[in-house]
Structure formats: C-alpha cells, structure tokens
Amino acid sequence: MSPAIKGWLRKLQKFNQSLSVKLTFMYGGMMFLILIFTAFLAIGSVHYLLMRQLQFDVRMSARQTVFYLDHHGQVDASIFQGQNVLTYVNLVVYNDKGRPILDNIARYEPGEPLTPGQLRQLNETDPDGAHFEIIDTENELTYRYLKRWESADGKVYYLQFIRGAQRERFFIELLIRQILVTVLASLGVTILAGVVLTNKVLAPLRAMKEPLKHIEVNEMGYRIPLPESRDEQYELAVTINRTLDRIEHGVAQQRQFVSDASHELRTPITVINGYTDLLIRWGAQDPETLSESLAAIQAETEYMRQLIEHLLFIARASAGELNIRLRPLETSEIVREVWNGLQIADRQGPHHELYLAANESALIEADDALFKQLLRIFLDNAVKYTPEGRRIMLSATATDAQYIVAIMDEGVGISEKDLPNIFTRFYRVDSSRTKATGGTGLGLAIARDIIDMHHASIEVTSELGSGTTFTITFPLLSEEGSADISPEE
Ligand code: ADP
C-alpha cells in the first residue's frame, strides 16, 4: 500500500474515532433507514392502489359495455358513446373471424386480428367466454380483458378491453425520483444538523480537556472551572474535580510514605555505620564495646529485616500482587497453631500470663497465611506492650453470623489522643519508639489492610496503664460453626 493511501486511512481512522462523528453517523444512519423504509412503504402502497385501479377500469368497462350491448341488441359505434368505456381503456370489437371491426381509438391501420388460439380459448375453454390477463413485457404492463358476446340473432363478436400502465408507471417513476431526492436532501440536512448539534453538545467536554492536559503528578493543583448551570456538565466537572482531589491526596500519601520509609531505613543504617566506625577504631581491643556494638548491629539488622518485610507487604498489597486466596477456612486449628507459637516465644523472653479464653470453631472466608499474620500482629503487639507477668488473653467466639476474635492485654494502653492514629502507617506512640520494643509502626496498618481484604471490621478500646482490647469481627461463611470451647491457661 502506498504511503499516501496509508496516510489517508490513518486520517479516516482518527476521524472515525471522534465521538461527534460516531454520533452523527449513528443518528444519520437511523434517520436514513427510517426515511427509506417510509419511502418504500409509500411507493409500494401507491403502486398497489394504482394497479388495482387499472384492473378495475378494465373489468368495469367490460361489464358496462356488455350490459349496454345486451340491451341495445347489436354492435355499432354507439357502444363508444356515454360512459361505457372508461377513460384510457381501449375497446376493439372483433367479428366472429377475429378481425377488428370497431376501435375506440382512431388508427391508420386496422389492428391485429385475434389469433386462432385466442378464438379457441374464448369459444371453448373460458367460462362465459371471458378471459382476463396481465401482459408484463419488459417495458410495458398491460391489462387485457377479452369477452365473447353473442347477439340475439346468433352473431358472435369478441370484445377486447385493454388498459396500459404507461401513465401510472411514469407517475411512479417520478414519485420514486422525487422521494429519493427528498431522502438524500433530508439525509444531508440530518448529517449537517448532527454535526452542528453534536459539536455543540460536546463543546463543554472539549473545554474540560484543556485544563486536564496541564495536570501532572508534580502539578496536581488544576481543577476544572464549574459551569454556572447545574446540568450534566456541572456534575461531570464536580466528579472529575473530586477524583482529582482523591488522586492528589493519594499521591501526597504515597510521597509521605516513601519519605517515611527512606527515613526509617536510613536510621538503622546510620546506627550500624556508627557502631562499625566505633569497632574499627576501638572495638576490637575493648570486649565491652565489642559486645555492645555487635548486639546493637544485630538489633538494627533485625529491625531492618522486619521493616523491609513490612514494606514489601505494603508494596505488594497496593500493587495487587499479594495473590490472596480467600477460601473457606476452619479457624480453630489455625488459632491454636498461632497460640502455641506465642507460648513458645514467650518462654524465651519476659514471661506473660497467657490465657486462651475461647477457641470456637467457625467457617470464614479467608486466606490462611494472612489470617495467621493478622493474629500474630496483634499478639506480638500485646507481648511488646505488656509488662512481664501481666495477662494476655485471646478469645475466638462464633455467633449466628459472625466470628469474633478479641485480643486483650493488661499492658501500657493507648491514650485517647493516639487511638485514632495507631492504624496509620509509621505511626508510633512516642513511648513506643524505644529500642526495647523496636516496632516499625507498620504492623497495625498491615493488619487494617488484611482486615479490609477479608471484609472484616475492627474495634479498639484502651485505657492508659490498664490495657488494650482489639476486637476483629469476620462475617461467617455458613452457619456450621460448632462450639469447641476449650479454655486453657
Ligand atoms: P509497632 O511496630 O510500633 O508496634 P504497630 O503499627 O503495630 O507498630 O502499632 C502502632 C502503635 O500502636 C505502636 O507503636 C504502639 O504504640 C501502639 N500499640 C499497638 N498495639 C498496642 C497494644 N497492644 N498496647 C499498647 N499500645 C499498642
């Protein structure tokens, strides 16, 4: 294909992608179909009526002429007088040999005689000696009625009534031409009106396009000016502006997250750097410095491992790459598994009084790995923020439609001021920013994500100094949850 044709095709494709062109074509096409259908219907009806009229003219003329002849008793030129033969009907009278003897149209030469076949047909075959036919040649449509008539004295005549359809045909052809011109003209007007109208209707959309072109990630401040009339255009502008607000907020949050994350990563690196410097200079000779530095480096690397794990989880969750597989899950076994893990871990660190108040079995729709992770986040926090020897309790119960997991601790508690923020990424209550607990501030944010993924909900109650209770409520998958209460110290 030559480049010129390709260019034209590309232009045509681009033109065809425009909404106003599509609307106009749709609108014009529909109009064209309606017009053509109406025109066909009108022409068809006119044609049918005219042809019926022709047939009627021929038959009526024959009936009136025969009636006249029956009364008049003989064939002469008087049959052409009066209204016997209707306008445009040609009557030719033939003698018994089939030769024309009378014609209501003056001719220079006598017409053709009747053929022997026609005579035989009229004399022998046709009932009442009458024969009607429509002769449809290539450019002529003729209605012919032949009738045998016998006078009282036994003379036989043949009457031929003929009516051609030239006039009607001419009229219909004229009608078709005129209707076609009208259809094409209306189509032209429709397309023109369509172009003008759709352009007018779409003009506000085009106007909106301009400010949107300026919006970049670094320049999110642009908003579409609101039109005065509160119509669809107004609603669209408001919707787009609100979407932009949300995107702007999301981008700001994302930036904040990236900056917090880099800050959080930089801090342990700085600490590790400081200790390695110290080790290089003095540490190797001083056993106390050596062990302190190694312990700090170990703690910071562990913190970084945790932080990176949390960051990866958040990154995967927001990219939709977590591969969550929600399946019917029997809860009690998993709860017990996580609880056993907690018991083992608690034996190694400062001991707490661990109490599994209830572990009812329920069927929920969940991803088992995420469900485990969720329980661990709350239990780890309970361990971190509860002083040695105090109680940590877990209760998992099922009601008619819900599965409720409550994690209670007699720990440090959270102040009213901090409570609304604990699910925010990187938020840590000031007193928690210590080496001893060393949290990343991402655990509860991840827990909130997991809870949302499971269509569950969470509530927190806490009192500073007395303890905290987190209550997570899952919808039950079915009502099969059977009680398996096994309190355990
Ligand atoms: P972190 O890694 O710091 O524990 P989280 O997102 O898990 O981060 O928790 C956010 C903050 O909420 C914590 O820094 C802590 O101050 C507070 N918090 C969470 N759980 C408890 C709890 N059981 N008792 C007291 N404070 C808690």
pLDDT digits 0-9 by tens, 174-230: 999 999 999 999 989 988 888 888 888 888 778 777 777 777 776 778 788 888 888
Asked if residue 101 has pLDDT above 50, the reply is: yes
pLDDT of residue 122: 87
Taking residues 234-250, report their average pLDDT.
90
Cα–Cα distance, 41 to 263 (Å, whole number): 80
- CB contact at 8 A, 233 and 62: no
pLDDT of residue 222: 79
pLDDT of residue 15: 60
DSSP 301-317: HHHHHHHHHHHHHHHHH
What is the CB neighbour count within 10 angstroms for residue 426?
17
SS3 assignment, position 422: coil
Taking residues 379-388, report their average pLDDT.
94
Comparing CA positions, the residue from 158, 153, 95 lying closest to residue 121 is 158
Instruction: Decide whether any atom of ligand 1 lies within 6 Å of the 100 Cβ.
Output: no
What pLDDT, in 10s, does the model give residues 22-78? 888 888 889 889 999 999 999 999 999 999 999 999 999 999 999 999 999 999 989
Segment among 8-22, 255-269, 351-365 with least mean pLDDT: 8-22
What pLDDT, in 10s, does the model give residues 255-265? 888 898 898 89
Show the beta-strand stretches assigned E in 331-371.
353-359, 363-366
Share of the chain above pLDDT 90, in %: 51
Instruction: Decide whether any atom of ligand 1 lies within 6 Å of the 129 Cβ.
Output: no
Token pair of 389 as six digits: 């020897």
Asked if residue 489 has pLDDT above 80, the reply is: no
Asked if residue 443 has pLDDT above 70, the reply is: yes
Q: What b/e sequence results for 19-42 when a residue is b if at least 16 CB atoms lie within 10 Å of its CB, and e otherwise?
A: ebeebbeebbeebbeebeeebeee
pLDDT of residue 483: 42
Does this model's pTM top 0.95? My answer is no
What is the CB neighbour count within 10 angstroms for residue 253?
12
CA of 475 to the centre of ligand 1 (A): 26
Q: What b/e sequence results for 196-213 when a residue is b if at least 16 CB atoms lie within 10 Å of its CB, and e otherwise?
A: eebeeeeebeeebeebee
Long-range contacts of 260-267 (CB under 8 A, 24+ apart): 260/425, 260/426, 261/307, 261/311, 261/426, 264/307, 264/426, 264/440, 264/441, 265/304, 265/307, 265/308
Instruction: Decide whether any atom of ligand 1 lies within 6 Å of the 443 Cβ.
Output: yes
Cα 98 to the center of its chain, rounded Å: 78
Segment among 93-102, 174-183, 225-234, 267-276 with least mean pLDDT: 225-234
pLDDT of residue 195: 85
Residue 124 has phi, psi (to 5 degrees) of -115, -45
Looking from the CA of residue 444, the nearest atom of ligand 1 is: 6
Q: Which of 306, 385, 392 to mutate to test the pocket of ligand 1 (most atoms within 8 A of CB)?
A: 385
Which pLDDT band, with edges at 50, 70 and 90, does 16 fall under?
A: low
Looking from the CA of residue 428, the nearest atom of ligand 1 is: 14
Q: What angle do CA 247, 248, 253 make, to 5 degrees?
A: 95
Long-range contacts of 227-235 (CB under 8 A, 24+ apart): 233/204, 233/205
Number of helices and strands in the chain (H, E): 9, 12
Give 391's strand partners: 353
Instruction: Decide whether any atom of ligand 1 lies within 6 Å of the 411 Cβ.
Output: yes
CA of 381 to the centre of ligand 1 (A): 6
Instruction: Decide whether any atom of ligand 1 lies within 6 Å of the 383 Cβ.
Output: no
Nearest CA to ligand 1 atom 11: 428
Cα 214 to the center of its chain, rounded Å: 29
Cα–Cα distance, 61 to 90 (Å, whole number): 9
CA of 159 to the centre of ligand 1 (A): 117
Cα–Cα distance, 210 to 224 (Å, whole number): 9
Share of the chain above pLDDT 70, in %: 94
Taking residues 106-118, report their average pLDDT.
83
Which residue do the tokens 């990866």 mark? 312
Nearest CA to ligand 1 atom 4: 439
Cα–Cα distance, 196 to 191 (Å, whole number): 9
Instruction: Decide whether any atom of ligand 1 lies within 6 Å of the 449 Cβ.
Output: no
More confident residue, 395 or 322: 395
pLDDT of residue 451: 96
Cα–Cα distance, 382 to 371 (Å, whole number): 17
The type of residue at 74 is Q
CA of 103 to the centre of ligand 1 (A): 119
